[in-house]
Amino acid sequence: MSRIVLASTSPFRRALLDRLGLAYEALAPAFDEIAPGGLPPAACARLFAEGKALSLAPARQDALIIGADQALELDGELLRKPATLDEAADQLGRLAGRVHALHTAVAVHAPPGVPPAPGDQRTLTEVATVELRVRPLGRAQIRRYVELDRPIGSAGGYLFERRGPWLFDDVRHADETAIVGLPLVPLCRLLRRFGVDPLDA
């Protein structure tokens, strides 16, 4: 079975990957999230997930590398990840009482030292999209939430893996791990394409 590297130091993504029972290393990707103008949100998530995985490929040619990223879409617009608590509060204010889409991409890359997937494919990517409806929220509720969870750098200005569920009226997706940032069902599907399946004897 191939070595595995997770191109992320997020404790939430690591907790999800731990559930699969695979041995892996977690390393910070050498990648800047700068999207070309006009790129659709789902394509942006895909680009960043692949970019994170590819950024570690030169140094880790002995391992499959997993990259993941999220992009939030509201009425066709990509909302940038908030850099401050005020920006997080502003985003939640825009999302309150409305439905938005959260696109989570996961990529698996095989550097030259690792056998590719069938068809000689070295990078495979899937995007999982979740529709979420934020409940109506007052300004005091939003401020209270961002002060509790401090969701700086999180798409939409919320952390579903903490107190985030208090913000929502409805979530529509079969794989809740996509909301947290590493959709496990698509990831397992991609890893199997590279011959990684702990259920095989």
- Residue 65: closest CA among 117, 108, 31, 124: 108
Active-site residue, from 32, 62, 69, 169: 69
How far is residue 54's CA from residue 63's CA, in Å, rounded to a whole number? 12
Q: Which helix (H) or strand (E) holds 67?
A: strand 63-74
Strands 77-79 and 63-74, how do they pair? Answer: antiparallel
Question: Residue 90 catalytic?
Answer: no
Residues in the chain: 201
Phi, psi of 169 (to 5 degrees): -95, -30
Show which residues are catalytic: 69
